Amino acid sequence: MGMTPKDVLAMIKEHDIKMVDVRFTDIPGTWQHFSLPASALTEDDFVNGIGFDGSSIRGFQAINESDMLVVPDPNTAFIDPMLKIPTLALICDIRDPITGEQYTRDPRFIARKAEEYLRNTGIADTAYFGPEAEFFLFNDVRFDQGSHFGYYFLDSDEGIWNSGADRHGKNLAYRPRYKEGYFPCPPLDTLQDVRSQITLNMMAAGIEVEVHHHEVATAGQCEIDMRFDSLLNMADKLIKYKYIVKNTAREFGLTATFMPKPLFGDNGSGMHCHQSLWKEGQPLFYDPKGYALLSDTARWYIGGILTHAPALLAICAPTTNSYRRLVPGFEAPINLVYSQRNRSAAVRIPTYSDSPKARRIEFRAPDPTCNPYLAFAAMLMAGIDGIKKRIEPPPPLDVDIYELSAEEKAHIRGTPGSLAESLDALEADHAFLLEGGVFTSDVIETYLDYKRSRELIQVAIRPHPYEFFMYFDA
């Protein structure tokens, strides 16, 4: 941190950088970019910005007001480890060229405003986030959709369904069975070197990695955990994380996906989000006398998360596929309660350590298809709302909720059953997001319209392959 434009230009010269890649994120959360020769980048570009067509970016401008500016943030400079031509990447903020103001629909600006709002409340000065983004690595991915057909086909050398297959004239076995992919050593875990290379590439890009391992599902489900960081920094890192995972996988002849539920009948990919608040270098979520060593502040933060969870999931679990994951039976956190150690609750309190610095909450419902700038900001805003209003969560449940009787479960709120339900919840409950001008009504309206018109309805109007199995002979 603390890089200046001069430092960036010196870095370009020192490392003989040939190209500069400027990057920013659209509303759904995909990294966008364009490049310029390194010799063309000037100090003025960090002040005046570089022009681009905002009408071609999802969720941004109309065609009659398309001109926008990207303004590189010098603190984000890193040498891209995935490119052969020496390239320096810069993450950018978006600005309106007419008013000169920061663009309200820029997800990174929203994340920055959330951090500022937290400081202005006086509650805390830092929100730390530690997302655990899971993903699959496949050997073969095919899908298509037309007026008279629709299909997808996934394959993995590691998939248990290949235990009886002829794999190029032989079959070497050793495949994780369904739901048994957690922590086996090679040769059962065939992806050790792939994850290690991903980890090394992440470290080269400035991401501090704590651990990597195979995940529960068969067919190449993986997880690489980053060390926690402040909200905006972690959102930047998560975007880099996904970029590096996808590109490293491709170098190994694999395809990575962060889809929450690519496989039927096995665990999906979530993004459990560890969160804590600090002030003046001191953790605020710890109380030696509280349940699970939680302070009142932490409990109220949880109250805010659980109260606003249906609306939050429109942003934190933002795809139709997200709700294929949020179903019973696959360790999915569908119960809006909290508990220590209990992975069947939407909010878990990790108990690996009793250190005050380790006291945090883990919101388990988000998945890695979310836009991290929007998702982290929304979770923080819900937590702040809980603290300000002293919202008490339901009593903690330290039992396996999946094993409770129907009568015992009757009073437990669940996560929404579909993206449509979550979007309706967000439309009805978003005042907490507007506090401090962090989100704006325009952003919420744009987001809802995009999700409903470009995603929700597009899935709803197409026949599903399983409908033929159920209804063709009706």
- Binding site residues for ATP, as ranges? 210, 274-276, 343, 357
Gyration radius of the chain's alpha carbons? 23
Which of the following is catalytic: 33, 343, 413, 452?
343
- DSSP labels, 1-48: ----HHHHHHHHHHTT--EEEEEEE-TTS-EEEEEEEGGG--TTHHHH
Within its chain, how far is the Cα of 453 from the centroid? Answer: 22
Residue 116 is among the residues annotated as catalytic for this protein? no
Residues annotated within a binding site? 132, 134, 210, 215, 223, 267-268, 272, 274-276, 325, 331, 343, 357, 362, 364
Q: Reduced to 3 states, what is the DSSP secondary structure of residue 348?
A: strand
Residue 343 is among the residues annotated as catalytic for this protein? yes
DSSP 8-state secondary structure symbol assigned to residue 275 = E
Contact at 8 Å (CB) between 94 and 107?
no
Residues annotated within a binding site for Mg(2+)? 132, 134, 215, 223, 272, 362
Which of the following is catalytic: 195, 308, 364, 430?
364
What are the structure tokens assigned to 40, written together? Answer: 């063309």
Residue 445 is among the residues annotated as catalytic for this protein? no
Which of the following is catalytic: 80, 96, 215, 236?
215
Residue 53 is among the residues annotated as catalytic for this protein? yes
Which residue type sits at 442?
Answer: D
Residue 158 is among the residues annotated as catalytic for this protein? no
Q: How far apart are CA 194 and CA 222, in angstroms?
A: 10
Residue 223 is among the residues annotated as catalytic for this protein? yes
Greatest pairwise CA separation for the chain in angstroms:
71
Contact at 8 Å (CB) between 84 and 51?
no
Which of the following is catalytic: 7, 44, 53, 467?
53
Residue 362 is among the residues annotated as catalytic for this protein? yes
Instruction: Return the C-alpha torsion angle 202, 246, 364, 301, nearest 10.
Output: 50
Burial group, residue 89, by CB count within 10 angstroms (0-12, 13-18, 19+): buried
Residue 407 is among the residues annotated as catalytic for this protein? no
Q: How far apart are CA 363 and CA 313, in angstroms?
A: 11
Which of the following is catalytic: 45, 93, 106, 134?
134
Residue 272 is among the residues annotated as catalytic for this protein? yes
Contact at 8 Å (CB) between 331 and 348?
no
Which of the following is catalytic: 93, 96, 132, 229?
132
Q: How far apart are CA 111 and CA 67, in angstroms?
A: 23
Residues annotated within a binding site for L-glutamate? 267-268, 325, 331, 343, 364
**Hunting for tokens 């990597």 — which residue is that?**
212
What are the structure tokens assigned to 403, written together? Answer: 């094993």
Burial group, residue 474, by CB count within 10 angstroms (0-12, 13-18, 19+): exposed
Which of the following is catalytic: 106, 158, 362, 385?
362
Q: How far apart are CA 268 and CA 262, in angstroms?
A: 7
Q: How many residues does the chain have?
A: 474
What are the structure tokens assigned to 280, written together? Answer: 């003046």
Contact at 8 Å (CB) between 277 and 112?
no
Q: How far apart are CA 108 and CA 105, in angstroms?
A: 9
Q: Reduced to 3 states, what is the DSSP secondary structure of residue 230?
A: strand
Q: What share of the chain is helix, strand, coil (3-state, %, to 5)?
A: 35, 25, 40
Which of the following is catalytic: 223, 236, 367, 385?
223
- Nearest alpha-carbon partner for 268 in 332, 364, 335, 348: 332
Catalytic residues: 53, 132, 134, 215, 223, 272, 343, 362, 364
